[in-house]
Amino acid sequence: MTRLRFDGWIAGLGTDSGTRVVLGSWARSPFGPFSDVMLERADGERLLLAPTRRTADFVSGTYVFDTVRVVPVGVSVADGVWAVTAGPLRLRFTPGRRGLLGLLLCAVPGALARRPAWCALTDLPARSFLPGVRTRGSSGAGRREWYGARDLRPIRAASAVFEGTDLGAVAPVEPPVRFGFGSVPRQPALTRVTTTVAPGPA
């Protein structure tokens, strides 16, 4: 496997029920445009919802899950509201205005965000300002990953239903999700990101 790049958005949020949700919506990827959803339930079950067997195999080979389901996954954005359907999940959320960090990240050129060296440089500041978040590390199958963020917006409101059950209002991502080496910010957020994945030990 050579280096693979994914350009898109990651949304991470918690709910009053204890279920935490991470959406990856990729406009450009080696598999074409696609979206996937990772959930961690209050009892600790980690679930992947992916649209094809190929994407499910890749994501589950990079991160850790207890259950993997191949289901239709759709994402739409209208009037600033994100609407997600993923098998048994229905999710809607509304991002708020960018803070200072979001404005600074918007100034990062795309070519720079794609460089692993830049992601390595931002790893310590990311850990300092966003506890639990890392921008480089190792994951499943000996793969290495780098995350280059280019925007950050808080998620102000959300509603989610899983298997017909209302998950409750938006809440912090607490405890942190346990899919891979990194996490998402504790405060619900939508991040524009370029993710680079490469083979080999860290």
Q: Give the tens place of pLDDT for each residue, 68-122.
A: 999 999 999 999 999 999 999 999 999 999 999 899 999 998 888 889 888 888 8
- Looking at the structure of the chain, the number of domains it has is 1
**Strand spans (E) along 17-140:** 20-28, 34-40, 46-50, 67-70, 73-78, 81-86, 89-95, 136-138
Query: What does the pLDDT read at residue 183?
Result: 77
Q: Which residues contact 78 (CB under 8 A, 6 or more apart)?
A: none
What pLDDT does 44 receive? 94
Residue span of the structural domain in which 93 resides = 4-198
Which pTM was predicted?
Answer: 0.93
In the predicted structure, residue 202 carries a pLDDT above the cut 60: no
Strand partners, 184: none
Residue 1 banded pLDDT, cuts 50, 70, 90: low
Rounded CA gap, 87 and 25, in Å?
Answer: 15
| Residue range 150-195, pLDDT digits in tens | 999 999 999 999 999 999 999 999 999 999 877 799 999 999 999 9
pLDDT attached to residue 201 = 53
The predicted structure's pLDDT at residue 200: 63
**Mean pLDDT of the region 142-150:** 89
- pLDDT tens profile 22-58: 999 999 999 999 999 999 999 999 999 999 999 999 9
